[in-house]
Amino acid sequence: MKAALKLFRVSLPASWLAPRTALPVAVLIILGLVPIYTAVTGDAFMLTLFGRIVILSIAALSLNLIMGYGGMASFGHAAYLGIGGYAVGILWKEGIASGFVQWPVAIAVSALFALAVGALSLRTRGVYFIMITLAFAQMVYYVAQGLDRYGGDDGLTIGSRSRFAGIVDIGNATQLYYFCFALLLASLFLISRLVNSRFGLVIQGTRSNERRMRAIGFSTFRYKLVCFVIAGALCGLSGALLANHTNFISPSMMFWTRSGDLMVMVILGGLGTLFGPVLGAVTYLLLEEALSRVTEYPGLFLGPTLLLVAIFLHGGIQSLFGAPRRD
Amino acid sequence: MLYFIEQCLNGVQLGMLLFLLAAGLTLIFGIMDLVNLAHGSLYMLGAYFAATFAAATDSFVLGALLALAATAVCGMVLEVIAIRPLYRRSHLDHVLGTFGLLLFFNELVRLIWGPAGMTLSLPSAMLSAVQIIPGVYYPLYRLVIILVALAVAALLYLLVMRTRLGMLIRAGASNREMVGALGVNIKLLYTLVFGLGATLAGFAGLMQAPILTVQIGMGENILILAFVVIIIGGIGSIRGAFVAAIVVGLIDTLGRAFLPDVLRSMLSTNAALTLAPAISSMSIYMLMAAVLVFRPEGLFPAASR
Amino acid sequence: MTEPLLQVAGLSKRFGGVVAADAIALDIPAGECHAIIGPNGAGKTTLIGLLAGEPAPERGSIRFDGRDITALPVHSRSQLGLARSFQITSLFTDFTALDNVALAVQAHAGHSFRFWRDARGEAALRLPAREALDRVGLAARADTRVDRLSHGEQRQLEIAMALATQPRLLLLDEPMAGLGSDESARIVAMLRQLKGSLTMVLVEHDMETVFALADRITVLVYGRVIASGEPAAVRADAAVREAYLGEQDARQDLHHG
């Protein structure tokens, strides 16, 4: 493994090769095997459930980039899920079904929105920042509600998934799943490069001590803004995937409680760790699913669980597995 | 013109409700440094309690009073059991924990009262309209909301400025450790402040119940507006919350009422029809953005912190 | 006669009712080591802050290398060659000492919009960082996390970081605070070596250090300059003796007694 990595001149932090990486690797293997399980047992529901988990993992990864590594706690991240999804839905409705147009638009519009929101919000900090990002995302929610042509509050069913000129047919459930899974792996890889690059160190340094960063000569606002845009763009991609996955878009994709779900996944998995968001997404969504099978009132148990995690676990669930606490 | 006056009053009325909600939120943040996403749940409980007690006692007023008491108790119990352990954690943990409480309460309400929601009817005395200026009639109950909320605002002012508790609140807002060092029972103070915030939220919930809604998740929509109010007004400032609430209430109501027509007259009908409702609902966020550019700490930022 | 590297005129700042800086004027030529002394609360740290860029002054001007920097933000001043060390240690606590200094190097090694290459593998960043650590005596602790360093080592790191930005003017706010006598001596020796090649503004309480290092001294009391000049002259100044050195002697008696 080490030799293979050296071959590709990939330098990973030494911690990657510790026993602690067994958990992420195991999770990835399980995620990779889901379509095979479905093919064997005929249980299509698992494919749908885990597809959603994979897609939201990408969204959680993007949020962790700004929240965990960058210290910018955005409560409006679901807005990008919505923007990405609506880009796909609106373009489809207007007759453009090609993924080669839809997805870049989804990413670009998300990036632009992140640029605007970031430019206004990143001058604030702490709780102000949390609430401001929350409010801007809710604004997008209301805009979507007002778009009668695209379903308004009821949402819009998307007749066909994004077309990729025959290169891959994501109309096929298994192909869509592996496509999303591949994007998840790619995101993990790219983020691992990003956080250890010069840019990544600036972002982390800014989280650690912004005053010092400015004192040594960094214009921190610029870097935070770029990070914010990257995260928004990646989440927009996740939104495009989600729209394809469910064949449906609605304003509820970006209601602020959805942003809360994303935050929970990131915090649960362990802020500022590479694989944490995936673990968090898997845990949260499976827990939600399991509870709704066991009881008619899953929130009665999920809610207090989150409260207990907030009170006692300082490092998300990874700290249960012995990962070092970041702070 | 008459329509305009009516909408202005509606805006003030919405502003008053927002003030009640925002005042509690900003107090809790200002003094305990706690982000409370479950504030909307207390608003919801106030409405549900009022509907239940009013039906049981066959009296709106009695139902309202019992609901206030019940919400206050719930708030204080919640503070002791679930909120206290959160104080020493980070803001993100507050978000996580109170978000969990929000999910919990939505489910609890569904368990106890069912998914369908409830209604709270007004006593017949309140159903009339009042002529406030010649030719302009306004629903009596909405007027009552405005007046009662103003009274509460005045009481709150007296409480914060003139009583010992209020002094402790103001002192606690600017220097928590000092107040503790002076021998004041900080724990009790926090519980009381949280209870006060909960009561205000519950009060807002029950007041709007007859004209708006009593349903699961009702707190989530208005909580967002309350956040916008305290951002614009300045976190920790009740005065700021008052001014900002009225402004937000007015802009939101007037925007929804008049912007679509204004836009339609300015743009082509197709574009206007699609965009108008969207843009008018954006208006308060535009205001918030503007405030952020010129005064990021809000209009009346509370001292120090 | 060349212009002084740092020219401060009429610099004023008040916080609420407290006047922290009252029409301060300073002229510091290149290569000078200029000490700022004064009793507690005299506004020494505020002055360092004003020079570094936070807070912004209410009145007055600061010229650096002939250029008016009064309105420049902190990071721009750093890019011009002003470096600052903090009185209360302000480091990146969850990073190693080497990471800390390397970040300081990175800030002045081109832009950081590089998203791919591992920055910890960049020799152009790591080598100067190791050198800076070596100069303050922390070479052995390069790979230790800051929150595991002793207080004294953290103070040394503070200085290493300021030096790593290759400054022309170094603002040192009580660099030896909390250091033992060995560590202090080492830092003093290092600063003495830097004299001449670097301009320094040094806030310091220990009078021995001040008189050993400073070319000129400015005395601040309640935000005002009450004396400024060569060490011997300042020492002999009556106003200074009364306001400050008297108090200082008493403290030193306690210290040595």
- ipTM score of the complex? 0.90
Q: Do A306 and B106 touch (CB under 8 A)?
A: no
C-alpha closest to that of B218 among B119, B70, B92, B85: B119
Q: Which residues of B fall within a CB distance of 8 Å from A139?
A: 281-282, 285
Predicted pLDDT of residue A14? 47
Reading chain A (327 residues) residue by residue, the pLDDT tens digits are 455 444 444 444 544 444 567 889 999 999 999 999 999 998 889 999 999 999 999 999 999 999 999 999 999 999 999 999 999 999 999 998 898 999 999 999 999 999 999 998 998 888 888 888 988 998 899 889 888 888 888 999 998 888 888 788 888 889 999 999 999 999 999 999 999 999 999 999 999 999 999 999 999 999 999 999 999 999 999 999 999 999 999 999 998 889 989 998 998 888 889 999 999 999 999 999 999 899 889 889 999 988 998 888 765 655 555 444 443
Let me know whether C133 and C242 are in one domain: no
Q: Does residue C234 belong to any structural domain of this protein?
A: yes
Classify the C-alpha dihedral A85-A90-A92-A97 as positive or negative: negative
Q: Does residue B164 belong to any structural domain of this protein?
A: yes
- List pLDDT tens digits, range C4-55: 899 999 999 988 888 889 899 999 999 999 999 988 878 899 999 999 998 9
Cα–Cα distance between A202 and C105 in angstroms, integer?
Answer: 12
Predicted pLDDT of residue C244? 66
What are the sequence ranges of the domains in chain A?
A: 20-321
- List pLDDT tens digits, range B213-270: 888 888 888 888 898 898 888 887 888 899 999 999 998 888 888 877 777 777 766 6
Residue B277's pLDDT band, with cuts at 50, 70 and 90, is: low
In whole numbers, what is the pLDDT of chain C averaged over residues?
Answer: 89
Question: Is it the case that residue B184 has pLDDT exceeding 90?
Answer: no
- The DSSP output letter for C141 is G
Q: Does residue C31 belong to any structural domain of this protein?
A: yes
Let me know whether C186 and C250 are in one domain: yes
Question: Is it the case that residue C248 has pLDDT exceeding 80?
Answer: no
Domain count, chain B: 1
Question: Is it the case that residue C170 has pLDDT exceeding 90?
Answer: yes
CB nearest A216 (choices: C93, C107, C122): C107
All residues at 6 or more sequence positions from A162 whose CB lies less than 8 Å from its CB, including other chains: A88, A92, A97, A98, A99, A102, A103, A170, A240, A244
Let me know whether C58 and C119 are in one domain: no
Predicted pLDDT of residue C72? 94
- The correct CATH number of A20-321 out of 3.40.50, 1.20.120, 1.20.58, 1.10.3470 is 1.10.3470
Classify the C-alpha dihedral A274-A275-A276-A278 as positive or negative: positive
Best mutation target, A67, A77, A138, to test chain B (most B CBs within 10 A): A138
Let me know whether C257 and C177 are in one domain: yes
Predicted pLDDT of residue B164? 80
Q: Average of pLDDT values for C228-255?
A: 74
Q: Do A205 and C78 touch (CB under 8 A)?
A: no
Q: Which residues of A fall within a CB distance of 8 Å from C52?
A: 215
Of the ranges B3-7, B18-22, B172-176, C190-194, the best mean pLDDT one = B18-22
**Over the range A147-173, which residues count as b (16 or more CB within 10 Å of their CB) and which as e?**
beebbbeebbebeebbbeeeebebeee
Cα–Cα distance between A207 and A203 in angstroms, integer?
Answer: 6
Residue A37 is inside which H or E element, if any?
A: helix A22-41
Let me know whether C138 and C37 are in one domain: no
**C24 - beta bridge partners?**
C11
Structural domain containing residue B175: 8-121+142-294
Q: Which residues of B fall within a CB distance of 8 Å from A264?
A: 96, 99-100
Beta-carbon count within 10 A of B124 CB: 7
Question: Is it the case that residue B300 has pLDDT exceeding 70?
Answer: yes
Q: Do A142 and B278 touch (CB under 8 A)?
A: yes
Q: Does residue C88 belong to any structural domain of this protein?
A: no
- Which of B160-169, B241-250, B275-284 has the weakest average pLDDT? B275-284
pTM of the model: 0.88
Residue pair A87/A148 in contact by the 8 Å Cβ criterion: no
CB nearest C116 (choices: A193, A209, A212): A193
- List pLDDT tens digits, range B60-103: 889 899 999 999 999 999 999 999 999 888 888 888 899 999 99
Report percent pLDDT > 90 for chain B. 33
Residue C214's pLDDT band, with cuts at 50, 70 and 90, is: very high
- List pLDDT tens digits, range B188-206: 888 999 999 999 999 999 9
Closest alpha carbon within chain A to B276? A146
Predicted pLDDT of residue A324? 44
Cis amide linkage into residue C55, ω under 30° from 0: yes
Q: Which one of C132, C166, C200 terminates a domain?
A: C166
**Beta strand ranges found along B56-206 (DSSP E):** 129-133, 136-139
Q: Average of pLDDT values for C192-212?
A: 88
φ/ψ of B283, rounded to 5, equals -55, -40
The secondary structure of A49-90 as a DSSP string is HHHHHHHHHHHHHHHHIIIIIT----S-THHHHHHHHHHHHH
φ/ψ of B263, rounded to 5, equals -65, -40
CB nearest A197 (choices: C74, C92, C118): C118
Quote the minimal CA–CA distance from A146 to chain B in Å: 5
In three-state secondary structure terms, A270 is: coil
Q: Does residue C183 belong to any structural domain of this protein?
A: yes
Q: Do A263 and B96 touch (CB under 8 A)?
A: yes
Give the pair of three-digit tokens for residue B232: 């614009």
Q: Do A201 and C103 touch (CB under 8 A)?
A: yes
The secondary structure of B122-146 as a DSSP string is PPGGGGSEEEEETTEEEEHHHHHHH
Cα–Cα distance between C207 and C214 in angstroms, integer?
Answer: 10
Let me know whether C178 and C254 are in one domain: yes
Cα–Cα distance between B247 and B11 in angstroms, integer?
Answer: 8
Domain count, chain C: 2
Predicted pLDDT of residue A4? 45
Best mutation target, C115, C148, C161, C170, to test chain A (most A CBs within 10 A): C115
Quote the minimal CA–CA distance from A144 to chain C in Å: 34
Q: Does residue B304 belong to any structural domain of this protein?
A: no
Cα–Cα distance between B298 and A15 in angstroms, integer?
Answer: 44
- Look at C95 and B119; give whichever has higher pLDDT: C95
Q: Do A124 and B296 touch (CB under 8 A)?
A: yes
Structural domain containing residue C34: 1-81+171-257
Cα–Cα distance between A291 and A302 in angstroms, integer?
Answer: 8
Quote the minimal CA–CA distance from A18 to chain B in Å: 29
Question: Is it the case that residue C206 has pLDDT exceeding 90?
Answer: no
Three-state SS string across A98-142, please? EHHHHHHHHHHHHHHHHHHHHHHHCCCCHHHHHHHHHHHHHHHHH
Q: Average of pLDDT values for B128-135?
A: 75
Q: Do A196 and C90 touch (CB under 8 A)?
A: no
Q: Does residue C106 belong to any structural domain of this protein?
A: yes
Q: Does residue B223 belong to any structural domain of this protein?
A: yes
Q: Do A199 and C114 touch (CB under 8 A)?
A: yes
Predicted pLDDT of residue C255? 53
Q: Which residues of A fall within a CB distance of 8 Å from B104?
A: 299-300, 302-304, 307
Q: Which one of C166, C193, C213 terminates a domain?
A: C166
